[in-house]
């Protein structure tokens, strides 16, 4: 009888008692940084629950666009979601302060400290998340945003006439306009062919992703501008989370901490490994690190994008709330800048 019971359990026959399943939707694919986060989260939940809770991971495109999976989480169809700040900003526009260039910088320790412990983001914006039935659990850096091009970009003048593939969010688009380029939003699948045919001149992404997408094959230069990291966010459905037992909530927090550490370690490792692979495969590719003086010109230009951020937040609210939303956005960005300074 004991052997029969063991065999039945191995086949998933549990006499009416089935494992609870939580859904986790990611904007990225397998072996990307968000996947390492999701896999570690799932493994930790399974271990902590003694197998009573399983986490099913959905990858890029399986449940729709980035905005779709945020909406599914807000509605409770999905319990967890990981997307970049621009996509989360469609629901909580204030969080796009993270997307403003030269606010976060690229110091690994400073970035991590702020992304995981910002009072401005996790406390001051908590009610904004609650209003759309979301709860922000953590943020992760996926590595420095690197410019690709077929010429050296060291100044705003070098960007003149350059079509740069950007994300579709307002702040990235306005960033490259301000820097002197022609921003060209494209879906991920269109980028390689556009770079190859030179209908687009360059792009911006972390090194690990550039290598995985093979964009280094169709670019002659890679520039490290010290501008900002790509930031992924992890959120849960607020109503669902608040309804969990204290034990399960603690289980989620423990899994989030383990997953954040795994994603942090992985992005450091994979960005370096993929940079080495790029140099091995393309020994003729030119790698440019902007000097402090060169960075300062872009940093000075980026201050005008603070107003862009305020506009984005203001325009997300009804007329009666616009003025207070704009003032709130100013306070958030100023406080975030101060947190980065304090962490440096």
Return the percentage of the chain with pLDDT > 90, whole number: 91
Mean pLDDT, rounded, for 113-131: 96
In a domain, 46, yes or no: yes
pLDDT in tens, 236-260: 999 999 999 999 999 999 999 999 9
CA-CA distances (angstroms) from residue 134 to 162, 237, 241, 255?
A: 38, 5, 9, 18
Q: For the segment 315-328, what is each residue's pLDDT rounded down to a tens digit? A: 999 999 999 999 99
Torsional sign, CA 289, 291, 294, 297: positive
pLDDT in tens, 286-314: 999 999 999 999 999 999 999 999 999 99
Structure tokens at 275: 């940079």
Band of the pLDDT at 179, cuts 50, 70, 90? very high
The tokens 């940084």 sit on which residue? 33
**Residue 41 and residue 33: Cα distance in Å, rounded?**
12
Are 120 and 336 in contact, with CB atoms under 8 Å apart? yes
Pairing of the two strands 163-166 and 182-185: parallel
User: Are 138 and 25 members of one domain?
Assistant: yes
- Considering the domain boundaries, does residue 312 fall inside one? no
Same domain, 49 and 193: no
Mean pLDDT of 222-240: 98
d(CA 171, CA 96): 8
Q: Let me know if residue 326 belongs to a domain.
A: no
Query: Taking the model in full, what pTM does it have?
Result: 0.92
User: Taking 60 as the threshold, does the pLDDT of residue 11 lie above it?
Assistant: no
Backbone Cα Rg of the chain: 21
One domain, residues 138 and 234: yes
Same domain, 86 and 171: no
Output the domain CATH number for residue 253. Answer: 3.40.190.170
* Domain presence at residue 329: no
pLDDT-derived band at 18 (thresholds 50, 70, 90) equals: low
Answer yes or no: do 114 and 136 share one domain: yes
Q: pLDDT at position 169, please?
A: 86
Q: Do 238 and 122 fall within a single domain?
A: yes
Same domain, 44 and 150: no
pLDDT at position 46 over 90:
yes
If pLDDT is split at 50, 70 and 90, which confidence band does 337 have?
very high
pLDDT for residue 13: 44
Cβ contact 166:204 at 8 Å:
yes
Q: 269 in a domain, yes or no?
A: yes
Distances (CA, A) of 28 to 35, 61, 104, 194: 7, 9, 22, 21
Evaluate if residue 6 carries a pLDDT over 60: no
Same-domain status, 110 and 74: yes
Whether residue 290 is found in the same domain as residue 222: yes
Neighbours of 62 (CB within 10 A): 11
Residue 38, domain member (yes or no): yes
Nearest CA to 139 out of 160, 120, 164, 159 is that of: 120
Domain with 164 in it: what CATH number? 3.40.190.10
Residues 127 and 157 both lie in one domain: no
Q: What is the pLDDT of residue 324?
A: 96
Residues of the chain with pLDDT > 70, as a percent, come to 95
Q: Indicate if 174 and 53 belong to the same structural domain.
A: no
Nearest Cα residue to 53 out of 63, 41, 62: 41
Given this model, what pLDDT does residue 167 score? Answer: 84
Concatenated DSSP letters of 58-93: E-TTTS-SHHHHHHHHHHTSSSEEEEEHHHHTTTSG
Domain contains 8: no
What is the tally of structural domains in the chain?
A: 2
> How many Cβ atoms are within 10 Å of 267's Cβ, its own excluded?
27
Are residue 297 and residue 186 in the same domain, yes or no? Answer: yes
Model confidence pLDDT, tens digit, residues 145-172: 999 999 999 999 999 999 999 988 899 9
- pLDDT, mean of residues 132-156: 98
| Full residue range of the structural domain in which residue 32 is found | 19-142+230-274
**Residue 116 covered by a domain:** yes
Tally the residues of the chain. Answer: 344
Burial class (CB in 10 A: 0-12, 13-18, 19+), 120: buried
């Amino acid at each position: 009888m004991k052997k029969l019971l063991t065999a039945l359990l191995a086949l998933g026959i549990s006499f009416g008692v089935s494992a609870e399943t939580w859904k986790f939707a990611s904007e990225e694919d397998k072996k990307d940084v968000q996947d390492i986060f999701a896999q570690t989260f799932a493994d930790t939940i399974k271990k902590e629950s003694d197998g009573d809770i399983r986490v099913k991971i959905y990858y890029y495109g399986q449940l729709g666009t980035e905005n779709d999976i945020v909406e599914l989480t807000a509605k409770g169809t999905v319990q967890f979601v990981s997307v970049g700040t621009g996509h989360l900003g469609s629901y909580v526009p204030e969080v796009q302060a993270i997307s403003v260039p030269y606010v976060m910088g690229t110091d690994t320790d400073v970035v991590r400290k702020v992304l995981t412990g910002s009072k401005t983001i996790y406390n001051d914006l908590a009610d904004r998340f609650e209003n759309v039935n979301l709860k922000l659990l953590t943020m992760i850096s996926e590595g420095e945003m690197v410019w690709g091009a077929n010429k050296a970009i060291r100044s705003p003048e070098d960007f003149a006439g350059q079509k740069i593939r950007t994300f579709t969010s307002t702040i990235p688009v306005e960033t490259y306009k301000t820097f002197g380029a022609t921003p060209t939003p494209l879906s991920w699948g269109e980028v390689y062919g556009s770079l190859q045919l030179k209908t687009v001149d360059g792009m911006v992404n972390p090194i690990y992703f550039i290598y995985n997408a093979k964009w280094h094959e169709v670019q002659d230069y890679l520039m490290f501008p010290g501008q900002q990291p790509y930031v992924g966010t992890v959120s849960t459905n607020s109503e669902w989370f608040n309804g969990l037992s204290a034990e399960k909530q603690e289980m989620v927090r423990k899994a989030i901490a383990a997953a954040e550490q795994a994603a942090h370690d992985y992005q450091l490792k994979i960005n370096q490994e993929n940079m080495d692979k790029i140099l091995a495969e393309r020994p003729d590719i030119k790698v440019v690190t902007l000097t402090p003086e060169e960075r300062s010109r872009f940093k000075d230009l980026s201050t005008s994008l603070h107003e862009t951020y305020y506009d984005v937040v203001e325009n997300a609210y009804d007329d009666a709330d616009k003025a207070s939303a704009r003032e709130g956005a100013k306070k958030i960005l100023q406080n975030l800048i101060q947190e980065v300074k304090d962490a440096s």
